[in-house]
Structure 1
């Protein structure tokens, strides 16, 4: 092993340990640790500066997307667009365990369109918990199915995960949207599988409830009166206008790849604010409110370019890959990324989202180049790190979901219930991608 490769692996280990132990911020890890590693590795200051510049050039467009996409969807949430969609679906639903299980996934997917795990838990669980209790259904199932809805919206092009993953792919215009379109056929199949799986879990609950001898009031509509818009910010009369604007923004992202994605979201944000909130003082108040949600995620995504730049342009990554190639048996080599993807669920107990995308994925991607597998294929295969929804190390919002059950579900109970199903879902996702060719 070369000295530079050793420094690279040690840097990776330090970043993982610091983030895992929650000793310092993600921004500190991405800003300070790689610089120290480069200096210890004997890299000259001009080379370090050049590497940082190139790395930040890769992540700046990604950070700009987040600068505008998060406020856009937060504005639509404030205006009541997501509430309106959920009300429209739920007011016509008859309650049975299989139906409620599928509805849980649907509601979580709808509220997950803003790419905020927090909002999914805050909306879905309080809304549906009374109906789970009415049907005597296991409330752990509610938290689990809400998490599956989160997982199924991982790959919206404006999510932090897609932006992280897209920043690793060079030479592709609008990489997050390119990835989304390539994974879309597999996503459609996976969504159908997920609905079937939810219905089967609902049927299993029905049998358990009947076997217990409990009397359950089955049938009736879901009362959506509790889904209320903000009295100051809600714009129910503009619901269809906001739906149309959102559809147009998403359509423009797909149909006009030559336009920078951040400009499309900026355009949508400006128009949306002008339509919903004509008072400039209120617009400025909302923008200040949304700005608080951009930290520290947006700076962390931007500064991840320092890690990528130092590893990629100082020769560190190349040295690390040569070491790995020498260790891995040649017969296993072409399949390493698939093996890692298959075991990604248990592996996520050792990683954060940042270390998975910015440490593990680049190294595996660079390694696979030696076996003729494009970086884009590797990134897509490793993208769906579903195990993140099992550990608060990677997804601390899980605690919010658990707290919303009023103590009925704790972390050990949730993990015990969810681990095997999520791992199976992850493997199904990989199999679908391999069969249709996305991950080959």
Structure 2
């Protein structure tokens, strides 16, 4: 009963939001409340929602200060040199811009943190897309592909969870799938090329003239300080480098690091009260939009976890595996991992579903490590930037101002293709087997 209720909750939420019957915000809040009431959990709703909201609060705080920090850095022109380098290579060609987006994302995503990847790449590239008339949907999609494949790194969330849950080290779990990851990167670059070529053809069909972005113009990005003439640009660069290093090394909680960095940046770049208020008024709406979605996601996951729906769904999925299907379990895990990112949070999957699958595989004569390798080929790696269950997804769609349903429809097949390519290479190299 509870498992069925869980699948109904997920299915109803996806159906309503993808078809635009309701907004994502309403779906995240009202759908789980409705199904929980139907399941007889009304008396526990308050406690479950509170726990879910408290769990995502640090993420919401981190994103609040992160959005404000990178918005301030954009205003000061910190990312303009990077933009100019991309422009010089791309020469106003939408196809090259799209490939450059993938390359930049692959580099930035080395830190293993989706939130910072989206904040940096979208901040740097969105002005270019708008100037060229390219769809922000292309930007969110290509960034999604690059960040997804790079989320396999051992210090990224999914692989770290898989190693902890199965008590394996990176040599057992990550190293065997490294060739598959390289193939996934190649696929992302190919996908970016094809998407970019299609976008270029669309713009040409609309009769848009070629634009030399380096020449400037009324719609070109207008930094407050050009190049290095304003000494504050060097302070901003140093502060950003220190911040990224501190984030990678996890010297403090992420929300603390971003709060401190924003306070220092605000003091140096906007020293007066009036200038500080103007900044908050300018970028405050973006913060409210993203953080509201995150707290709504906390309601959603809090109810699904508190009612036991997630646990029951995991057990139900395992129960349908036939006795003779143990050999197919790694492949099934790999292929279904990406779509199941829309259903399970990373904690729920890697600490709830995956150990059960690994135990089932071992009982059928398989290697539990193969289940872990298969899982990271899609579950909350290629799938995380499409999932409504991860806060960073809302950073990506919030900053690019695209709808979740549109984003999912546009890039789902390409992201699933990344998983299929990596699964095929993992089979060929023996990382997983039939």
TM-score bracket relative to the smaller structure: 0.5 to 0.7
Q: Structure 1: how far apart are the matches of 2:425 and 2:401?
A: 32
Q: Structure 1: how far apart are the matches of 2:245 and 2:54?
A: 26
- Structure 1: give runs of 5+ residues left out of the alignment: 130-138, 173-181, 209-220, 348-354, 402-410
Residues 105 and 146, structure 1, Cα contact 8 Å, conserved in 2: no
State whether structure 2 residue 66 is matched by structure 1 residue 69. yes
Partner of 1:262: 255
Output the TM-score relative to the length of structure 1.
0.63
Higher mean C-alpha displacement, 90-99 vs 33-42: 90-99
Residues 82 and 110, structure 1, Cα contact 8 Å, conserved in 2: no
State whether structure 2 residue 48 is matched by structure 1 residue 34. no
Q: CA deviation at 1:333?
A: 4.2
Give 3-state SS (helix, strand or coil) of 1:42's partner.
Answer: coil
Partner of 2:111: none
Q: CA RMSD in A?
A: 5.3
1:124 to 81, 105, 128: 128
Q: Structure 1: how far apart are the matches of 2:295 and 2:140?
A: 30
Q: CA deviation at 1:251?
A: 0.6
Q: CA deviation at 1:97?
A: 10
- Structure 2: give runs of 5+ residues left out of the alignment: 109-115, 165-173, 202-211, 359-367, 388-393
Q: Structure 1: how far apart are the matches of 2:187 and 2:310?
A: 38
Q: Structure 2: how far apart are the matches of 1:76 and 1:228?
A: 13
Q: Structure 2: how far apart are the matches of 1:370 and 1:109?
A: 32
Task: Go from structure 1 to structure 2 and tell me whether the alpha carbon gap of 1:95 and 1:44 turns closer, same or farther (over 3 Å shift).
Answer: closer
State whether structure 2 residue 331 is matched by structure 1 residue 367. no
Q: Structure 1: how far apart are the matches of 2:302 and 2:383?
A: 23
2:283 to 290, 303, 325: 290
Q: Structure 1: how far apart are the matches of 2:385 and 2:147?
A: 15
Task: Go from structure 1 to structure 2 and tell me whether the alpha carbon gap of 1:75 and 1:5 turns closer, same or farther (over 3 Å shift).
Answer: same
Residues 104 and 128, structure 1, Cα contact 8 Å, conserved in 2: no
Following superposition of structure 1 onto structure 2, how do residues 155-194 of structure 1 map, counting pairs within 5 Å? 191=185, 194=188
Task: Go from structure 1 to structure 2 and tell me whether the alpha carbon gap of 1:188 and 1:35 turns closer, same or farther (over 3 Å shift).
Answer: same
Q: CA deviation at 1:261?
A: 0.6
State whether structure 2 residue 265 is matched by structure 1 residue 276. no
Partner of 1:85: 82
Give 3-state SS (helix, strand or coil) of 1:23's partner.
Answer: coil
Output the TM-score relative to the length of structure 2.
0.64
Q: CA deviation at 1:38?
A: 2.1
Task: Go from structure 1 to structure 2 and tell me whether the alpha carbon gap of 1:320 and 1:170 turns closer, same or farther (over 3 Å shift).
Answer: same
Partner of 2:6: 8
Residues 56-85 of structure 1: CA deviation (Å, up to 9, x unaligned)? 232121111111111111111111112232
Partner of 2:390: none
Q: Structure 2: how far apart are the matches of 1:156 and 1:289?
A: 33
Residues 12 and 359, structure 1, Cα contact 8 Å, conserved in 2: no
2:241 to 231, 247, 251: 247
Q: CA deviation at 1:94?
A: 7.8
Q: CA deviation at 1:262?
A: 0.3
Residues 307 and 358, structure 1, Cα contact 8 Å, conserved in 2: no
Residues 249 and 264, structure 1, Cα contact 8 Å, conserved in 2: yes
Residues 66 and 258, structure 2, Cα contact 8 Å, conserved in 1: yes
Partner of 1:301: 294
Residues 149-206 of structure 1: CA deviation (Å, up to 9, x unaligned)? 453245899xxxx99x78x97999xxxxxxxxx8997878855665577689999xxx
Size of the alignment, in residue pairs? 371
Higher mean C-alpha displacement, 269-278 vs 294-303: 294-303
